[in-house]
Amino acid sequence: MGAMRVVVAAARVAAGEVVVGALVPILVPVGGLVQVAVLLLLLVAVGAALLLLLVGVGAALLLLLAADDPSPLISAQASAAPNIINPFPSQLQQKMPPPTKSPFDPKDYRVIRLENGIVALLISAERTRSSRVPGETNRLSESSRGESGEDSEEEETTEGTSEDAGATSEDGDHVTSLSEDDTDVPSKASATGSHGLRRKKDQSIVAACAVCVGVGSFSDPNDVPGLAHLLEHMVFMGSEKYPGENSFDTFTAKHGGYGNACTGCEKTVFEFCIHQPYFREALDRFAQFFVSPQLLEGSLDREIEAVDNEFQDAFQSDQKQNRAAVWFLYCEPKPSSFEVHVGFMWGRSCGVGNTESLKKTPKKKGINVGKHLRDFHLHSYSSNHMTVAVMSRDPLDTLEAWTRESFSSVPSRQPSPTSVPSGIPAFEDALFCRLYKVVPVKDIQEVHITWLLPSLMNQYRIKPMHYLGWLLGHEGKGSVLSLLKKRHLATTLVSGNGGESYEYNSSYSLFTCTITLTNKGLENVLECINVVFQYLKILRDLGPQEWIYREIQVVEENEFNFKDEDDPVDCVSALCESMQYFPEEDYLTGDDLMFQYDHQSIAAVQDLLTPERANIVLVSKTFAPLCDRKEQWFGTKFSSEEIPSDWTAGWQNLPINPDLHLPSPNIFIATDFTLKTCISPLQKYPVVVEECDHYKLWFRQDSVFLVPRAYVHMLFRTAVHLESARNAFMMDLFLHLMKTLVGEVAYAADVAQLHYSFSAEVQGMVLCLDGLNHKLPLLLETLINFVADFSASEEQFQTTKDDVTRNLQNYLLRPKKYAKSLRLKILQHKYWSAADALSIVDSVTLKELTEFVDTLRQQMYVEALVQGNMTSEEAKQLMKYLCSRLQFSPLPMSLYDQLQPRTVQLPANTHITVEAMSKDKQSPSTVIVDYFQCAPRSLTESVMLQLLMRCINEPCFDTLRTKKQLGYDVFCTDHDTFGIIGASLTLCTHGSKYSAEYACGCIDQFFEDFLNILSSWTESDFHSHVDSLIQRKLEPDICLEEEVNRNWSEILFQLYRFDRLVKEVEVLRHVTQEGMVEWYQRYILPHPKHRRLTIKVVSHHTTAVLDSGDKKLESSVDSPMAVLLKEEEVEAFKQNCPLYPRGEKGGD
């Protein structure tokens, strides 16, 4: 390359000399002004000729470079390698090709390069999908599906359905599933490996920006692990132009947004979102973090504490500890030269860092962490290693002007970030292919079979790991999991590569098969491993199957073309990172689509998945007596040994298993994408199109988003599950068993992007389906048939019961879950906890469960919502099929209403405290939940509560987390508990650092101080929060799912106020600052109507002792009465409390 550049330069010089030399004899005879004029004209001609020559030579050079590539795969590798940001001069790159997008994506895209080397993707969301004409047929031509090999596929290699932790209704306390996750989604909380916060999705925000810096924890200096993550925190602590440490968070929160960041192994991503009118100013504030961050010494110790709090938060996560174990187990001490390159981030501090690695150890060694931080920043945070994604409703020209103005001043320092040199092994060979046993935090039983592969980032167009993960992780007939389930050895199997940076990077790739084992499976783990190896042998013998590859392509192409809009901040965050790896045209598709089938490349990866190259990790609490070693940072107990010789000998000649075979063609793949003709008149909200004694059908045909998707939500209102804790548990057990029974058949629908879920709610059983509408009725019929013909074997029942039991035990091990359970135990008149279920589980039999299901199906009332690309007649046919198959009698609604839970009215002017020790004796976390019971739900009360949450969240986080460093997890949440609204503040602190009493005192002080903050705001400050909330409610939905979920919430809780957002805006327009102050004083501060409940789940690592004194302690005259309870005293206390009346149905 260097020689070629010299040749080109010599050609330029030679050409210039020839042209100028030729001009001399022409100019000599000419005199005076004519000579000057001719000279000027000739000089212009020379310049034009030189320019044309340069362009021609440049084009020729590019062609030569392309021709020099020996294969298409190598070309893809060059395009996809990390830090591939285009190195050619910016003058030649002002106009870059736009990314390829879905034909149904209405957004406009533009790629630009700034003079300092930053590449920016601009996304204008001015237009929406509603511009398409109903009735048209959306079909992809055969050529667009890529007969030439340019096909599509998604790189999501882990199989199975994941729970959406962010999906919730306003009625967050309405949960009965005894082992389900918490549906109270905090407005601000922790995110592993990030400076920022996990927040409730606000998809009305369409203005967002993200920056990816091409450096991560792999580049940490060997003597200060965690430095990249610490720098991520410090960057957000103000800039020279905007010096306030919390000024950016304050500004974004004031205008409905937030900021966040995350450090990976090789990249660090920063992001923010905000309401549209304030995007320009927020963009400039955000860019200044990269132009001139302060990196003040005064912030250093505090942010090290924040990093440590994040590290401590990982003690509850087996997933995070497993990441640490990967590096510690496979990367024990090596030569220092290797450590310098790799950084050993995960092995030393789990990708996060802590006070030991960032403060104590450096201090002992005389290392100035502040200087290291500034040097690291100067070396790594250079504009030529940054990519930016910007999205808003502004035109592209406006976005370009703003982006150039904001980011052009980011300095370019040129040197490349430290990376792992090629040729150095990622793991020590002698430590990798072994048998490890690990003791987990939770009660889980798993086997992880892992293969170390070369980095496959360069094969993103082929995605061989996705193809192989899809087959090994299949759950249909003939699959590994199907056979293991029939033998009652396993309950789930996930395979492939999840895309996390510790398993997918420029140095290596990890391909893992993780099996969740039954008790029998743990005892016969070799049998499980053998089945995996037998299936892989079949794949190697048969070779890659093009028809399977093509089938996956069609599925993923359909999903890419017709998917709902992504959350804007998630969208720009993912894209700015993709820009580091893919060429411009593949920014949108590089992660999602599979472009070409390559038999040789897939076979090459497939041939590496052999028994002799596998590492095996067994995870179970039963290994505790056998594990005599501890991982350095988390203290995870483990043992290491050679894989038994009889195992390896048996793997040499594995027999072919006739029960294992390739999957059949998928009957659930959609082929008809016709948009249904809209009926007239169009309805803005769902309407009842059919009602009888058995059911009520709500319907709304989509007339806005115009995509071939539909949603079917069904609530089977029952009464029997509300009669006792035993029945509530059997409902939960029945639905878990249903998921097992339908799995083999319905899995084909799942991989065809048809989604379904069963869940238990207070109201009854809920079945939800969504996806491309063509085959959605077939999926519903399949699921209803299983409900109608429910039957399970004794072994299936016992396996599911064991699985549910472990879920219940693990639920209680999590301090925040335990705290929620205690809060609801005192607030709900009827509440059956996970602990109640555990006391029942052993005595429940299959015969009893079968009788319960029969009783459950006898009397029901179904309320359904069908919305999307379906007609009302099609919706009616679904209900008719349901009734014909289930043959149930109508449920008297009077009986149903009588059994509905009600809310306990806490005593007025009283502060109740419930204290308990954490169920997990190893957890360092103490969790405090301060809950304030406010009032029965009404539009006005609900709006005031929502506005309070918007006002209080940022000051709460800034005070308790940033300034006082009480913990990484700090957030406020609004609740609706069966029609009674309330507010809570949750704090997760480290028990060995702060006592629960001290943390509670800080919370009390914050509530007092916030009154002064709220009162001192100018009228403009206060109304900026009001206007932000109004804007959020008036923003149109960005996807069909958002509208459906809001409508379903109204139906599920029998409120039916589909125009709620409009009505709430009317209330908001009349809210005053004085009214907000009065509301805060009435419900949050001590007041005659003050009803406060504090839950303390105390770590065993704290020095604080539970107060064993009086349970009723009078404080000052103005303070509320204090009541201290233990968990076993809650039920007796509730008996003396009145119940709130049942709310009126159909409104607030």
Q: In the predicted model, what is the mean pLDDT of residues 951-969?
A: 90
Residue 1117 has pLDDT above 50, yes or no: no
pLDDT at 683: 85
pLDDT at 333: 40
Residue 625 has pLDDT above 50, yes or no: yes
pLDDT at 622: 94
Which two three-digit tokens encode residue 347? 């092995």
pLDDT at 1107: 40
Q: Which amino acid is at 671?
A: T
pLDDT at 316: 62
Which two three-digit tokens encode residue 111? 């790629």
Query: 221 exposed, middle or buried (CB, 10 Å; 0-12, 13-18, 19+)?
Result: middle
Percent helix, strand, coil in the chain, to 5, is 45, 15, 35
Provide the 8-state DSSP code for 1091: E
pLDDT, tens digit, for every residue of 45-101?
A: 445 444 444 434 344 333 333 333 333 322 333 333 333 344 334 343 456 889 999
Residue 228 has pLDDT above 80, yes or no: yes
d(CA 570, CA 821): 31
Set 155, 156, 159, 232: catalytic member? 232
d(CA 947, CA 1031): 12
**Secondary structure of 630-665 in HEC code, one letter for each residue:** ECCCCCCEEEEECCCHHHHHHHCCCCCCCCCCCCCC
- Secondary structure element (H or E) that encloses residue 751, with its range: helix 725-751
Q: Shortest CA distance to 471 belongs to which of 602, 563, 365?
A: 602
Residue 321 has pLDDT above 60, yes or no: no
pLDDT at 630: 85
In this structure, the strands spanning 910-917 and 1091-1098 are parallel
pLDDT at 79: 33
Q: Shortest CA distance to 749 belongs to which of 778, 790, 721, 722?
A: 778
Q: In the predicted model, what is the mean pLDDT of residues 763-784?
A: 96
**The tokens 């920022």 sit on which residue?**
196
pLDDT at 969: 87
d(CA 770, CA 1114): 55
Residue 179 has pLDDT above 90, yes or no: no
- Torsion angle, CA of 505/509/515/521, rounded to 10 degrees? -140
Q: In the predicted model, what is the mean pLDDT of residues 855-879?
A: 96
Q: In the predicted model, what is the mean pLDDT of residues 825-854?
A: 93
Residue 326 has pLDDT above 60, yes or no: no
Q: Which amino acid is at 869?
A: N
pLDDT at 54: 42
Alpha-carbon separation of residue 201 from 120, 197, 573, 806, 933 (angstroms):
25, 12, 14, 30, 25
Better pLDDT: 884 or 499: 884
Q: Shortest CA distance to 492 belongs to which of 158, 783, 178, 938?
A: 158
Provide the 8-state DSSP code for 359: I
pLDDT at 1115: 35
Q: In the predicted model, what is the mean pLDDT of residues 714-736?
A: 93
Q: In the predicted model, what is the mean pLDDT of residues 1041-1069?
A: 95
Residue 789 has pLDDT above 50, yes or no: yes
d(CA 983, CA 1083): 9
d(CA 760, CA 736): 10
Residue 172 has pLDDT above 60, yes or no: no
pLDDT band at 310 (very low <50, low <70, confident <90, very high): confident
245 among known catalytic residues:
no
The percent of residues in the chain predicted with pLDDT above 90, rounded, is 63
**The tokens 């995007």 sit on which residue?**
279
How far the first Cα of the chain sits from its last, in Å, is: 73
pLDDT at 502: 85
Q: In the predicted model, what is the mean pLDDT of residues 849-862?
A: 95
**Using an 8 Å Cβ cutoff, are 386 and 286 in contact?**
no
**Using an 8 Å Cβ cutoff, are 387 and 255 in contact?**
no
Better pLDDT: 559 or 424: 559
Q: In the predicted model, what is the mean pLDDT of residues 695-707?
A: 94
**The tokens 């409902």 sit on which residue?**
731
Q: In the predicted model, what is the mean pLDDT of residues 206-213?
A: 94
d(CA 736, CA 734): 6
pTM given for the model: 0.81
Question: What is the C-alpha radius of gyration for the chain, rounded to an integer number of angstroms?
Answer: 31
**Using an 8 Å Cβ cutoff, are 267 and 581 in contact?**
no
Question: What rounded mean pLDDT belongs to the chain?
Answer: 81
CB atoms near residue 951 (< 10 Å): 25
pLDDT at 351: 60
Which two three-digit tokens encode residue 915? 């204290």
pLDDT, tens digit, for every residue of 2-43?
A: 333 323 233 333 333 333 333 233 233 333 433 434 344 444
d(CA 957, CA 977): 25
pLDDT band at 128 (very low <50, low <70, confident <90, very high): low
d(CA 47, CA 37): 16
Q: Shortest CA distance to 412 belongs to which of 111, 120, 209, 115?
A: 115
pLDDT at 897: 77
Q: In the predicted model, what is the mean pLDDT of residues 171-195?
A: 36
pLDDT band at 920 (very low <50, low <70, confident <90, very high): confident
